Amino acid sequence: MPSSHPLDRLQAGDALVVVDVQRDFCPGGALPVPKGDLIIPELNRWLAAAHERGIPIYASRDWHPPEHPSFQSQGGIWPEHCVQDTAGAAFHPDLELPAGAIHIAKGTRLDRDQYSAFDETGLAEHLRARGVRRVWIGGLAEDVCVRATALDARRNGFEAHVILPATRALTAAGAEAARADLQAAGVILEGE
């Protein structure tokens, strides 16, 4: 690990937020992000470093009820994915989440989708209560839930860094648009 690696900057006042690294968002899943599983070794390095330094770790899951309004069968735009308690909704088995990681369920509402890990989850309040000022964000998908989570981090007053080698987009055009939106909102894009 070169000493210039950004994970060397993880310190007190930081948190690591891992978004939706679930089977359904990886190759072979119901809504696969191309090469989505390739981010896992990088995420595991961040998880290990955060765990060693006592940095709080949050891991969200897209956690939809059956007949969620985002599903095409219900008039939504996505194939059925991440249905609560199914194999596809599980964290990817290679993701090395330490025992102390806090799990966040999102996308549970029946009236609308919730892309952001901050959306009615209490995450902002929890971070503030722990003295967190800066969040490091990775996971899936860069152009959907990572984007929404990072934008909400800024709206809630946190310094926000998206770890580019630890995220992947559904589409290349989506990634380009997401990065522009993130930079415009003051999110720092790290690495690559």
Partnered with residue 79 across adjacent β-strands are none
24 in contact with Zn ion (CB under 5 A): no
To ligand VGL, the closest distance from the beta carbon of 93 in angstroms equals 18
Q: In angstroms, give the least distance from the CB of 113 to ligand VGL.
A: 7
Residue 35 among the catalytic residues: no
Q: Are 111 and 104 in contact (CB under 8 A)?
A: no
Residue among 14, 20, 119, 152 flagged as catalytic: 20
Smallest distance from Zn ion to CB 10, Å: 29
Q: Give helix 172-184 / helix 147-155 axis angle, nearest 10°.
A: 10
Q: Does residue 106 carry a catalytic annotation?
A: yes
Query: Which tokens hold the place of 140?
Result: 């899936």
Q: Which parts of 32-91 interact with Zn ion (CB under 5 A)?
A: 62
* Residues near ligand VGL (CB under 6 A): 20, 25, 31, 62, 70, 78, 140-141, 144-145
- Write the CA distances from 39 to 25, 49, 121, integer angstroms: 12, 16, 25
Q: Is residue 119 a contact point for Zn ion (CB under 5 A)? A: no
- The DSSP bridge partners found for residue 188 are 161
Is 20 a known active-site residue?
Answer: yes
Cis peptide upstream of residue 141 (ω within 30 degrees of 0) = yes
Footprint of Zn ion on this chain (CB under 5 A)? 62, 107
